[in-house]
Structure 1
C-alpha cells in the first residue's frame, strides 16, 4: 500500500529485542499482545484461550504466573501454542526462574521488586540460559514508596524515574534484552510518561492504557492515548487492556494500527453512518458483513455506502466498493471502477464472495512472487 506524505509516521528508533521468534523494536512491525484471564494452572482452558487469540492475530500472549502451579503448567502450555508466551511475574524471583525454565519467551518483571542483587542476578542468568527477554512494567497504581514521597503523587516524572531505576538494575547485571512500559489508567498521565521515557532511553516501548474499562469505553480511552503515542512514532508493541475477552483486545489493537496505516491485517470496511438517503439497510449490512469477513486476514479495503453522494468517491479508493442506487439496484465497484450492478437480494453474500475471491487472488500473487501478505501488510 502506497503512503502519501501526510500519512507518514516516523517511528522512534529503538533497539531491537526478541520475544521468542518475534522481533520487537528496531524496524520490526508493531506487535499486538493480549493476556489470558484463565487460571494458568488450568492448562486446557488457557491453551484454548490462547488459540482464540492466535486466530484473532495475536503476536504475543501473556499469562499470569503467581504460583508454582502456574509455572508448572507453563511447561505444558508452551508446546501447544504457536505464539511466544510472556510470564507475568510480580514479586517472587523463583517464579521467574521457573517460568524461564518452562519455556517462557519473556518475563514481565520489575527487578526492584524481587529482592536482593543476588536474586536479580539469578533471574538474569536464567533468562540468558533460556533465551528469555524481559519487560519492565511500571504502573501508576503501584509506584515505589520513595517516589511517591518524592513527588507527592503519581506523575510522569515519577513513572519515568521508576522505569529507569529498574532498567539500571538489569543494566548493572549486564542484561539489556528488555522492553519497558509506563502504564496508567489516566490517559494524560500515561501519554506524558511515555513521551518522557521515549526521550530518556532507546529501549523498545510496550504501550498500554491500563484498566481502560469495558469494550466500548476501554476502546475509546486506549485509542485516544495509544493513538496519540503511535501517531507521534512512539511504541513498538501494544496491548489494549479491556474488561472483555482477550481476543477482543487483539481485534481492537489491529484496528488501531490499521487506522494509522502502521499495520494491516484483514478487511478494512469503510462505511457511512447512514441517513434518509440510504438505499439499503447500511447498519445491519455492515454489522453482518464484518462478522462474515472476520476470517479474512489478507489486507484489503471494502466500502459500503448507502447512496451516490459519497459512494463513488469512496469506491475509487477501495478494492471493492458497494454504493446504494435507486429502485433497489446498486453499483458494485472493483479496483475503484464500476463493474456490475446488484439487486437488493443477497448483498452480504455477494460481497463476501467478492472479498474471498480477491483474497485468494492476492494470496496467489504473493505465493508466486515468494513473498507473503503478512510481510506486505507491515
Structure 2
C-alpha cells in the first residue's frame, strides 16, 4: 500500500557513517538501539541479554564500560554479538581506548565528563586505528562548567555549543565517522536542542529523550519528543530510554517508527478502544493477539474492530481484518475484502493462523525475488 503524499516525511540530509555493518545517515533506515543493564564484566549474562535485544529487532546495542574488567569482557562480547556494539564511555578515556581495541564498532563519549582535549585525541586515535565510529553524546545533566556559567542553566544553545565544540575537535583531526546526540530528560529542551543542531551540522543524529522514566510515562515522553523530531525529518538512529527491560525499548522504538511510516517490523494491530457496541471483548482479544504474534517480524497490518461502525472501513486498509457482527460471530477480511464469517470463540486462533500464513507467503516471495536478482 503506497504512502499518500500528505504522509510523506522529507528526511534531513546527513552524512553517512557506519556502525559496524549498520549504515547511519544519508537516507539509511533509521536504526533502533537499546542498552544492556547487566554487569558488563559478566560476558555470558551480557551476551544473553544482547541476544534477547537483537531478537526484539535491535540494529545496535550499547554496552557500558565503567572499568577495566568491562573492557576485558568486551573482547568476547564483541566477538559473539549478533549486532554491532557501541561502548559507552564515561570519565576514564582509557576505557575508550581499551574498548576500541576489544572490537567495539562505535565509541560513545560524553564531552562533559571525559576530560582534557588531549585525552579525547587519544580516543580518536584509537577509534581510527581500530575502524570504530564515534558518538558525541551531550547530556543536559552533565554540561561543561564553562557553558553552565555562560548560559546560567542547561539550555538548547549550551547543548548545541557543546556538541559543535567537540565535533570540531574530531574534524580538526580529520575524523568524520561520528554521529551526535543532545539528550535531556526535558522533552522541550531535547527537541529544541536537536532542531538547533540539525540546522548547524550535516552529521547524522542519534535521537533520545534521556532518563524518560518508567514504561508508561517514558513511552509517552519519548513518543512526543522523538515523534515530533522524526516527523520533522530529523534523526538517523533512535533509543527509547525506559526504566524497563531493554527489549521493551526496541518494541516502542519500532512502534514510533511504524506509526510515522518510517520503518515497519512485525504486525501493526489496529484496534478500537471498545464500547457498548462491541460484539466481543476487544481489549482481552487484542492482548492475546499481541502476545501470540510477538514472534512475527514480517511487516503487515491486522485490524480488530468491535463493531460494524468503523470495522469494514479499517479492514479495507489492512492485510487481515476482523469486524464484530454480534455476540457469536463476525466477518473476517483478507486483503481488504470480506472473506468469511468467523465465530468469536475461534477468532484468536484463526487470526494467528492467517497472520502466520501471510508472513510465510511474504517471506517466500522475498526469498524468490532475492534469488532471481542474484
TM-score, normalised to structure 1, is 0.96
Where in structure 2 are the equivalents of 1:353-364 lying within 5 Å?
A: 353-364=353-364
**Once the two structures are superposed, what CA deviation does each residue of 1:160-219 show, in whole Å capped at 9, x if it has no partner?**
000001111111121111000000111000000000000000000000000101000000
Secondary structure (helix, strand or coil) at the match of 1:326 reads coil
- 1:345 corresponds in structure 2 to 345
- 1:182 corresponds in structure 2 to 182
Where in structure 2 are the equivalents of 1:12-31 lying within 5 Å?
A: 12-31=12-31
Q: Does residue 305 in structure 1 map to residue 305 in structure 2?
A: yes
- 1:198 corresponds in structure 2 to 198
CA RMSD, 1 decimal = 1.2
- 1:11 corresponds in structure 2 to 11
State the shift of 1:308 in Å.
Answer: 0.5
More off after superposition, 121-130 vs 277-286: 121-130
- 1:95 corresponds in structure 2 to 95
Secondary structure (helix, strand or coil) at the match of 1:212 reads coil
State the shift of 1:114 in Å.
Answer: 3.4
Secondary structure (helix, strand or coil) at the match of 1:359 reads helix
**Contact in 1 for aligned 2:208/2:240 (Cα 8 Å):** yes
- 1:143 corresponds in structure 2 to 143
**Once the two structures are superposed, what CA deviation does each residue of 1:218-244 show, in whole Å capped at 9, x if it has no partner?**
000000011000000000000000000
Distance 2:115 2:302 in 1: 54
Where in structure 2 are the equivalents of 1:218-229 lying within 5 Å?
A: 218-229=218-229
Distance 1:371 1:317 in 2: 30
Q: Does residue 365 in structure 1 map to residue 354 in structure 2?
A: no
More off after superposition, 113-122 vs 295-304: 113-122
- 2:255 corresponds in structure 1 to 255
The alpha-carbon distance between structure 1 residues 345 and 46, as it changes in their structure 2 partners (threshold 3 A), is same
- 2:236 corresponds in structure 1 to 236
Secondary structure (helix, strand or coil) at the match of 2:75 reads helix
State the shift of 1:362 in Å.
Answer: 0.5
Q: Which runs of 5+ in 2 are unaligned?
A: none
Distance 1:250 1:111 in 2: 26
- 1:320 corresponds in structure 2 to 320
Secondary structure (helix, strand or coil) at the match of 2:179 reads strand
**Once the two structures are superposed, what CA deviation does each residue of 1:86-105 show, in whole Å capped at 9, x if it has no partner?**
00001212111100010100
Secondary structure (helix, strand or coil) at the match of 1:174 reads coil
Distance 2:113 2:81 in 1: 30
Distance 1:236 1:116 in 2: 29
**Contact in 2 for aligned 1:112/1:166 (Cα 8 Å):** no
Distance 2:220 2:244 in 1: 14
Q: Does residue 45 in structure 1 map to residue 45 in structure 2?
A: yes
- 2:270 corresponds in structure 1 to 270
State the shift of 1:112 in Å.
Answer: 6.3
- 2:65 corresponds in structure 1 to 65
State the shift of 1:117 in Å.
Answer: 4.0
TM-score, normalised to structure 2, is 0.98
**Contact in 2 for aligned 1:111/1:169 (Cα 8 Å):** no
More off after superposition, 89-98 vs 305-314: 89-98
- 2:32 corresponds in structure 1 to 32
The alpha-carbon distance between structure 1 residues 112 and 242, as it changes in their structure 2 partners (threshold 3 A), is closer
Q: Does residue 74 in structure 1 map to residue 74 in structure 2?
A: yes
**Contact in 2 for aligned 1:100/1:126 (Cα 8 Å):** yes
Distance 2:160 2:92 in 1: 24
Distance 1:351 1:180 in 2: 43
Secondary structure (helix, strand or coil) at the match of 1:309 reads coil
Distance 2:12 2:280 in 1: 45
State the shift of 1:371 in Å.
Answer: 7.6
Distance 1:203 1:217 in 2: 30
Distance 1:271 1:166 in 2: 46
Distance 1:117 1:173 in 2: 12
- 1:160 corresponds in structure 2 to 160
**Contact in 1 for aligned 2:111/2:137 (Cα 8 Å):** no
Distance 1:346 1:215 in 2: 32
More off after superposition, 143-152 vs 337-346: 337-346
Distance 1:26 1:282 in 2: 42
Distance 2:268 2:117 in 1: 49
